């Protein structure tokens, strides 16, 4: 069991975004699906404590999330947001920043390769990258921290079909070679089918289905 | 520096001609500022006259405690005024109050310790007023900028926090830009002083009949003091205030609804 959510609620601006969520997210690849505004991204932010639920409790690997040092937790449970938000500078300086925070040995070429980018990107200024390239640098930057879990928020939303296939292949490779668990937010049930082996379906902040992939997506 | 001149109320009244010119321009070009100009004129007269009498009393009493009381009141009002310009920063009052107190305290303390001015009301009151006033403007500008920066950079801040960066690390570029914007105005005006404008103290001393070299030296001292105090105020205000955007668990707080 990777995460367990018990009666989790969260409101923003007076609006209930998540309403009494209860779920067990297993180790492996889990997909959180649902229409826009159903609370998928908010749920992801709760999993690495970018926000805390106003009610209920979340545990990670059997231990309450609030018992973890949030900084260490975020390096272990890395979130790749939907919109790229890199630091000013080069791709390489972004990767180094992340690796230094995690006290990890940086293999920039490998991180870039896993994210579908060649080593020539290392010296590129981030202001000169397309949104799709930035999205992949965000993934490479997360990988530079050698996380155990990747929280991916619509990770291929800015990519064309070929780039999407390459990144999806990377996710499969990460699971296989590095034993990284994935929690993937997607509005696309087909992507959930390709990548996940377990799914949670949200609608208007409530769980409407959870379990084995085909069952939950049916 | 013991020169003094006498200015009559008649002379002050004569200067009002220029205020009527300002009001006439506003009316002519429909800038709709006549009312504000009238309020500004009346308020400046009342406030400056009142503070003039207060300063006179303090000079006559010649006690350091009254000076400290006056400067403390200035610090509190300065922090309240600056807070109204830094609305996007949560709980900005305390960082501003501490910033103004430290900027005023260290600057005046150093000035006295270095023997630049005597610790008497005649020096401490006007210099303290200038220091606190400039520190207020600088810290208000810095925090206003900080509020805008955080509002514009929420995605980047959260992405950096996601990497396990502390709030301090995630906010560092914003705090740096806010500090810079709070200080840059005075730095720029100091660069052009004497070329494009004559600063007030120098003008006042020249009008009062002082030697130009004395006027210039005193002005230089004040400019250098202000540079230091403005930098201290902006540094303290931004260093304390950025933390108010974050929770103890290094999370970026939701922004409060924009006050209208």
pLDDT value at residue B192: 87
Using alpha carbons, list the distances in angstroms from residue A77 to A148, B33, B108, B206.
Answer: 6, 57, 51, 67
Rounded Cα distance, A6 and A18, in Å: 12
In degrees and rounded to multiples of 5, residue B241 shows phi and psi of: -80, -30
**Mean pLDDT estimate for chain A:** 92
Q: CA-CA-CA-CA torsion for B64, B65, B66, B71, nearest 10 degrees?
A: 90
Task: Tell me the nearest-neighbour CA distance from A51 into chain B, angstroms.
Answer: 6
Beta bridge partners of A57: A6
Could A83 and B155 be called an inter-chain contact, meaning their C-beta atoms sit closer than 8 Å? yes
Could you state, in order of their start, the residue ranges of all structural domains in chain A?
Answer: 3-217
Tens-level pLDDT at each residue, chain B (260 residues): 445 678 899 999 999 999 999 999 999 999 999 999 999 999 999 999 999 999 899 999 988 899 999 999 999 999 999 999 899 999 999 999 999 999 999 999 999 999 999 999 989 999 999 999 999 999 999 999 999 999 999 999 999 999 999 999 999 999 999 999 999 999 998 888 888 778 888 888 888 888 999 999 999 999 999 999 999 999 999 999 999 999 999 999 987 554 43
Q: What is the CATH number of domain A3-217?
A: 3.40.50.300
Could you state, in order of their start, the residue ranges of all structural domains in chain B?
Answer: 7-61, 63-245
In degrees and rounded to multiples of 5, residue A55 shows phi and psi of: -145, 150
Q: Considering all CA atoms of chain B, what is the largest pairwise distance in Å, rounded to the nearest integer?
A: 68
- Give me the residue from B160, B163, B254 closest to A145, CB to CB: B163
Is the pTM higher than 0.95? The answer reads no
Residue given tokens 């914003």 in the structure block: B174
**Structure tokens that stand for B106 in this block:** 């260290």
ipTM score assigned to the predicted complex: 0.92
Mean pLDDT in order along chain A per 10 residues (218 residues): 95 91 93 91 95 96 95 95 92 97 94 90 95 92 94 88 86 86 91 90 91 79
Mutate to test the interface with A, among B157, B159, B161 (most CBs of A within 10 A): B159
Task: Tell me the nearest-neighbour CA distance from A89 into chain B, angstroms.
Answer: 12
Q: Architecture of domain B63-245 in CATH?
A: Up-down Bundle (1.20)
């Amino acid at each position: 069991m990777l995460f367990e959510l018990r009666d989790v609620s969260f409101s923003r601006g007076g609006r209930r975004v998540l309403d009494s969520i209860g779920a067990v997210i297993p180790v492996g690849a889990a997909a959180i699906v649902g229409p826009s505004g159903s609370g998928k991204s908010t749920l992801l932010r709760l999993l690495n404590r970018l926000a805390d639920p106003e009610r209920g409790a979340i545990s990670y690997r059997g231990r309450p999330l609030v018992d973890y040092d949030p900084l260490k937790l975020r390096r272990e449970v890395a979130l790749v947001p939907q919109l790229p938000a890199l630091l000013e500078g080069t791709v390489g300086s972004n990767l180094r920043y992340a690796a230094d925070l995690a006290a990890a040995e940086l293999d920039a070429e490998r991180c870039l390769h896993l994210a579908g980018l060649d080593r020539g990107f290392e010296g590129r200024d981030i202001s000169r990258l397309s949104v799709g390239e930035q999205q992949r640098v965000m993934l490479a930057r997360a990988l530079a921290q050698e996380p155990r879990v990747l929280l991916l928020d619509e990770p291929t939303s800015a990519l064309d079909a070929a780039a999407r296939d390459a990144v999806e292949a990377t996710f499969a490779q990460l699971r296989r070679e590095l034993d990284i668990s994935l929690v993937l937010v997607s509005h696309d049930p087909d992507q959930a089918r390709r990548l996940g082996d377990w799914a949670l379906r949200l609608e208007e902040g409530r769980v409407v289905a959870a379990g084995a992939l085909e069952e939950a997506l049916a | 520096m013991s020169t003094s001149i006498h200015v009559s109320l008649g002379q002050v009244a004569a200067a009002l001609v220029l205020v009527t010119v300002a009001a006439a321009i506003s009316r002519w070009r429909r800038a709709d500022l006549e009312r504000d100009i009238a309020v500004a004129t009346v308020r400046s007269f009342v406030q400056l006259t009142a503070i003039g009498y207060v300063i006179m009393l303090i000079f006559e009493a010649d006690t350091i405690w009254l000076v400290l009381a006056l400067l403390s009141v200035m610090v509190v009002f300065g922090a309240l005024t600056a807070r109204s310009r830094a609305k996007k920063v949560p709980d900005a009052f305390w960082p501003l109050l501490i910033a103004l107190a430290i900027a005023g305290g260290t600057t005046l303390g150093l000035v006295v310790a270095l023997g630049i001015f005597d610790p008497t009301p005649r020096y401490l009151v006007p210099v303290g007023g200038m220091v606190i006033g400039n520190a207020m403007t600088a810290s208000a500008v810095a925090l206003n900028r900080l509020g805008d920066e955080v509002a514009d950079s929420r995605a980047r801040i959260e992405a950096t926090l996601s990497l396990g960066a502390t709030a301090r690390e995630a906010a560092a570029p914003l705090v740096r830009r806010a500090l810079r914007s709070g200080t840059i105005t005075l730095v720029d005006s100091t660069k052009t002083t004497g070329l494009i404008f004559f600063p007030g103290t120098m003008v006042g001393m020249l009008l009062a009949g002082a030697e130009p070299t004395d006027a210039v030296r005193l002005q230089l001292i004040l400019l250098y003091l202000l540079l230091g105090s403005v930098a201290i105020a902006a540094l303290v205000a931004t260093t304390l205030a950025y933390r108010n955007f974050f929770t103890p668990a290094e999370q970026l707080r939701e922004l409060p609804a924009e006050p209208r």
